[in-house]
Amino acid sequence: MKTIVAIKQVPARDSQLRLNSGATWIDEEDLTFEINEPDAYALEEALQLKEKLGSGEVIALCLGPERAASTLREALAKGADRAIHVVCEKPEALDPLAVAKLLAAAVRTESPDLLLTGLQSDDLGSGQTGVILAELLGCSHATIIMEVVVQGGEVRVKRELEDGWFQYIQMPLPAVLTIQSGLNRLRYATLMGIKKAKTKEMRALDAATLGTSPVAATLDRIYPPDRQKQTQMLTGSAKEQAAQLVEKMKFEMRVL
């Protein structure tokens, strides 16, 4: 079974983020980058599926600038068989539809049985790329996956719902699944895996040559949320003040 895992390179979670001089994006000069955590769980699930089946191929797919090659090397060191790098120097200028179009163009050259992604990215968190990919590829899909079982030409998945409820779905292959974080325990790249990664294939594709016409978004300005403190004095009797407080908590603070 051939499985493609779409991974994204994001700033490390302990990074101190600062805006660039034009306030159009974060300053990446001193940042370190890593695999998006939900995508790391998708990669782990793909590797475990291959181990359970005893055969197959796991391909890591990443859209990003030249530095994203290090993230693909990490995926190869953990056990992916080969990698595809869709080179795009400013991925932050692409919306989820544009990203999905470029990834779909790369996926079509492979015809995988399964395409796994993380539920969402740690940087932008739109949670849309996986489901848009499924629509573009014409595949069955499911989100927030907690368990994957391949049965012949079908896959049975367990979805996480609200309040401790779960849903089980049987769907045909090929399929696109977005994986929930915490599904498995993540593995580390071994020294042997790191050595082997240097000899594994990494194919680079120029985003401009994939035959799609993604529309780039324009970021005019980004900024942290404004934090303001405000004091309001409630007047009237204790009963009237309580009624005013409840109203503000419902309609202004939205905590009730």
Q: What is the CATH number of the domain that holds 27?
A: 3.40.50.620
Q: Is residue 75 assigned to a domain?
A: yes
- H or E element: which one contains 38? helix 37-53
User: Residue 154's beta-bridge partner residues?
Assistant: 151, 172
Q: Is residue 226 assigned to a domain?
A: no
| pLDDT recorded at residue 132 | 94
CA distance 113 to 55: 13
Q: Which of 97, 80, 11 is nearest to 46 (CA)?
A: 80
CA distance 112 to 11: 29
Tell me what the pLDDT averaged over the chain comes to.
Answer: 89
CB 202 within 8 A of CB 71: no
Q: Is residue 250 assigned to a domain?
A: no
CA distance 86 to 74: 16
pLDDT at 163 exceeding the cut of 90: no
Q: Is residue 190 assigned to a domain?
A: yes
Q: Is residue 76 assigned to a domain?
A: yes
> How many independent structural domains does the chain possess?
1
| pLDDT recorded at residue 147 | 93
| pLDDT recorded at residue 213 | 62
User: Residue 178's beta-bridge partner residues?
Assistant: 117
Structural domain for 134, as ranges: 2-209
Give tens-digit pLDDT for 103-119.
999 999 999 999 999 99
